[in-house]
C-alpha cells in the first residue's frame, strides 16, 4: 500500500515539470494582407452586395428608364389542346439589362470579369406572360444569373408556359395555327422600364428554335418577333413572339381518312348485292353506324365552339349523308324488284327512262331480255289450233296468267337491275367528287403565313 502511494506521488511530481507549447507570435503577421485567405469570387460577391437593395430599380437617377432586352429560345412543344385552346411549351426567357450600381475592376479581384450569383441577391425585372392560361404564381425558375464587370446582367431561366392560343379549326386536320406569346412587365410602365427585342451576336432571330426537339403532331413553319405598346392610362411595352405551326396529317390520315374511304367503298358495294340476298339495307345501316362512331371520336378533340365546323367533320357528315342516300336508293330498288307482287305494271315513264335511256349505258343485255318479255306480254301466249283443241279454255287462261305474272316479275327485276347500276355510278361519282373537293382542293386554301399579318396589335382576329 505504501509502495502504491509513493508511485502516485512520483507521477504527479514529474507532470509539473512538463513544458507546454508557447502561444503563437502574432507579430510576424504585421504588414501582411490577411484578406488573401478569402476567395476572389467571395470578396467580389461581398463587394457587390454592400449596400445593395433588391427592391429598387438598378439606376441612380429615378427619372432614368431601365432597358430590358428580351429574347426567347424554344426547346419543346408539349401539347396544343384544341378543346381548351391552350399551348404548352418549354422555353428559355433570355433577359439582358444594365445595373448601374454594380461595377468593379477585374484586376482588384483576381481578374474575375464575370460572376454568377443567385437571382434572389440582385434586382430582376418582373417579366410575365400576359396571355397566361394558368395562375401567375408559377413564375420563372430561380436559376443563377451572370453579372459582368461593367454591370451587364444576363438571365435565361427555363420555364414551362401555358399560353392561350386561339385555334381556328376550319380546315382541321389540314390546319395552320398561329400562337402568340405576349411578354411584358406587370408593374413598370414605359416611364420606368422599356423592353426591346434582343439582338443576338450571331445575327440569329430573337425567337430562336436551335434547341427545339421535334414534335410528332406539329411542325414549326416560321416564327416572328415584334414590339407593341399596350395600355390605356399607362403605356406598357410588350414583346410578342409569334409561332406559325402546321399540323402533321399522317396520324389523321390512317386513323380517320383511310377508314372513311374504306367505308365509302362499302357504301357503294351495297348496290352490287342482288336484291334476293336481303342484306342491302343491313350493309347500308352498318356503314352509317360506323360513320357516327367516327364523328364522335373527332368531336372529343374539337373545341366546344360554334364559330366554325372542322373540315374533317364536314367530310364525315357529307359521307354520312351519301350513305343515308344510298340506303334510301336501295329501298327504292327493292320496291322495284318486288313491284310485281301487287300485279302492277311498270309505269310508262319508268319503262321509258330505264329501257330507252339508261339501258343504253347500264344494261343493253337487260334491254333485249325485257323487250322479249314485253313482246310476250303484249302478244299473249301463242297457241296453234292443236293446242286450242287439246287444252281447255280455263287451263289456257291460267297458263297465260302465270306466264304474264312471270314476265311482269322479270320486267320489274330487269328494271331494278338497271337502276341499281345507275345508282351505283351516281353514288360513286358523288363520293369521289366530295372526297376530292374536301380532302384535296379545300386544304389548299388553309395555308397562311406571316405576310398576311403586318401588325401584331390585332393578332387576336388573325
Please name the helix (run of DSSP H) or strand (run of DSSP E) that holds residue 95, with its range, or none: strand 86-98
Q: CA angle, 212 as apex, 175 and 177 as ends, to 5°?
A: 15
CA distance 459 to 450: 11
Determine the CATH number of domain 44-248: 2.70.170.10
The pLDDT confidence band at residue 363, using thresholds 50, 70 and 90, is: low
Q: Look-up: residue for cell 389540314?
A: 174
What is the pLDDT, as a whole number, of residue 432? 95
Could you tell me which residue, 379 or 125, shows the higher pLDDT? 125
Is-contact 76 213, C-beta < 8 A?
yes
C-alpha cell at 141: 425558375
Strands, sheet with 236-247, edge to edge from the N-terminal-most edge strand: 127-129, 176-185, 236-247, 218-230
Which residue has better confidence, 360 or 69?
69
* Cα 175-181-185 angle, rounded to 5 deg: 165
Question: What is the DSSP secondary-structure string of 175-214?
Answer: -EEEEEEEEEESS--TTTEEEEE---TT---SEE-TTPBP
Rounded Cα distance, 373 and 367, in Å: 10
How far apart CA 243 and CA 114 sit, in angstroms, is 34
DSSP state of 42: H
**What is the distance between the alpha carbons of residues 127 and 187, in angstroms, rounded to a whole number?**
9
Average pLDDT over residues 14-41: 57
Model pLDDT, residue 15? 46
Mean pLDDT, rounded, of the chain: 81
Average of per-residue pLDDT across 431-448: 89
Asked whether the beta carbons of 245 and 163 are under 8 A apart, the reply is no
Q: Which residue has the cell 371520336?
A: 297
Residues 93 and 74: their CA atoms lie apart, in Å, by: 9
Distances (CA, A) of 287 to 26, 278, 422, 437: 100, 16, 21, 22
Residue 381: band (very low, low, confident or very high) from pLDDT cuts 50, 70, 90: very low
pLDDT at 436: 94
Question: Looking at residues 170-184, what average pLDDT do you find?
Answer: 90
Q: How far apart are CA 11 and CA 4, in angstroms?
A: 11
- Higher pLDDT: 350 or 20? It is 350
Residue spans per domain, the chain? 44-248, 252-445
Q: What is the mean pLDDT of residues 260-280?
A: 84
Q: Rounded to whole angstroms, what are the CA distances from 198 to 64, 142, 206, 216, 316?
A: 20, 21, 5, 30, 47
pLDDT average, residue stretch 248-253? 89
Percent of the chain whose predicted confidence (pLDDT) is above 70: 77
Question: How many other CB atoms sit within 10 Å of the CB of residue 29?
Answer: 9
Which pLDDT score, from 0 to 100, does residue 303 have? Answer: 66
Residue 230 three-state SS: strand
Helix (H, G, I), strand (E, B) or coil at 5: helix
Q: Which residues of 269-292 are buried (b: 16+ CB within 10 A; e: fewer)?
A: ebbebebeeeebeebbeebbebbe
Q: What is the pLDDT of residues 301-339, one digit of tens each?
A: 666 777 788 888 899 889 999 999 999 998 888 887 776
Q: What pLDDT shows up at residue 209? A: 87
Lowest-confidence region among 35-44, 110-119, 295-304: 295-304
Cell for 183? Answer: 411578354
192 burial via Cβ count (<10 Å: 0-12, 13-18, 19+):
middle
> Would you say 448 and 176 are in contact if contact means Cβ atoms under 8 Å apart?
yes
pLDDT digit string, tens, across residues 6-15: 455 454 454 4
pLDDT of residue 232: 76
Torsion of CA 448, 449, 451, 453, to 10 degrees: 70
Residues 6+ apart with CB under 8 A from 72: 91, 92, 93, 94, 181, 183, 206, 207, 208, 225, 241
**Residue whose C-alpha cell is 494582407:** 33
Amino acid at each position: 500500500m505504501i509502495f502504491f502511494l509513493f508511485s502516485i506521488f512520483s507521477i504527479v511530481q514529474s507532470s509539473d515539470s512538463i513544458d507546454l507549447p508557447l502561444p503563437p507570435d502574432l507579430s510576424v503577421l504585421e504588414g501582411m494582407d490577411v484578406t488573401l485567405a478569402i476567395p476572389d469570387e467571395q470578396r467580389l460577391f461581398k463587394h457587390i452586395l454592400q449596400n445593395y437593395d433588391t427592391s429598387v430599380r438598378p439606376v441612380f437617377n429615378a427619372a432614368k428608364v431601365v432597358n430590358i432586352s428580351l429574347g426567347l429560345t424554344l426547346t419543346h412543344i408539349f401539347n396544343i389542346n384544341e378543346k381548351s385552346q391552350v399551348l404548352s411549351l418549354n422555353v428559355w426567357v433570355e433577359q439582358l439589362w444594365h445595373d448601374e450600381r454594380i461595377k468593379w475592376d477585374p484586376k482588384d479581384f483576381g481578374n474575375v470579369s464575370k460572376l454568377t450569383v443567385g437571382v434572389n441577391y440582385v434586382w430582376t425585372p418582373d417579366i410575365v406572360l400576359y396571355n397566361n392560361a394558368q395562375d401567375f404564381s408559377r413564375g420563372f425558375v430561380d436559376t443563377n444569373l451572370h453579372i459582368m464587370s461593367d454591370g451587364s446582367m444576363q438571365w435565361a431561366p427555363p420555364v414551362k408556359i401555358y399560353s392561350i392560343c386561339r385555334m381556328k379549326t376550319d380546315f382541321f386536320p389540314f390546319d395552320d395555327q398561329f400562337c402568340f406569346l405576349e411578354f411584358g412587365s406587370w408593374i413598370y410602365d414605359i416611364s420606368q422600364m422599356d423592353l426591346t427585342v434582343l439582338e443576338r451576336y450571331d445575327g440569329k432571330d430573337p425567337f430562336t428554335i436551335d434547341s427545339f426537339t421535334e414534335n410528332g403532331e406539329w411542325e414549326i413553319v416560321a416564327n416572328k418577333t415584334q414590339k407593341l405598346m399596350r395600355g390605356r392610362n399607362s403605356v406598357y411595352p410588350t414583346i410578342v413572339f409569334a409561332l406559325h405551326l402546321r399540323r402533321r396529317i399522317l396520324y389523321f390520315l390512317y386513323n380517320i381518312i383511310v377508314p372513311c374511304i374504306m367505308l365509302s367503298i362499302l357504301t357503294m358495294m351495297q348496290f352490287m348485292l342482288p336484291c334476293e340476298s336481303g342484306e342491302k339495307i343491313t350493309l347500308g345501316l352498318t356503314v352509317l353506324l360506323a360513320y357516327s362512331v367516327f364523328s364522335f371520336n373527332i368531336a372529343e378533340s374539337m373545341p366546344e365552339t360554334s364559330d366554325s365546323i372542322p373540315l374533317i367533320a364536314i367530310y364525315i357528315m357529307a359521307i354520312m349523308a351519301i350513305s343515308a342516300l344510298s340506303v334510301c336508293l336501295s329501298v327504292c330498288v327493292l320496291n322495284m324488284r318486288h313491284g310485281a307482287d301487287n300485279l302492277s305494271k311498270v309505269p310508262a315513264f319508268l319503262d321509258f327512262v330505264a329501257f330507252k335511256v339508261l339501258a343504253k349505258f347500264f344494261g343493253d343485255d337487260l334491254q333485249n331480255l325485257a323487250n322479249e318479255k314485253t313482246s310476250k306480254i303484249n302478244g299473249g301466249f301463242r297457241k296453234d289450233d292443236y293446242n286450242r283443241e287439246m287444252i281447255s279454255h280455263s287451263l289456257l287462261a291460267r297458263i297465260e296468267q302465270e306466264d304474264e305474272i312471270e314476265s311482269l316479275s322479270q320486267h320489274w327485276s330487269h328494271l331494278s337491275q338497271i337502276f341499281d347500276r345507275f345508282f351505283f355510278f351516281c353514288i360513286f361519282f358523288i363520293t369521289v367528287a366530295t372526297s376530292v373537293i374536301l380532302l384535296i382542293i379545300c386544304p389548299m386554301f388553309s395555308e397562311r403565313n406571316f405576310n398576311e399579318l403586318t401588325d401584331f396589335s390585332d393578332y387576336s382576329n388573325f
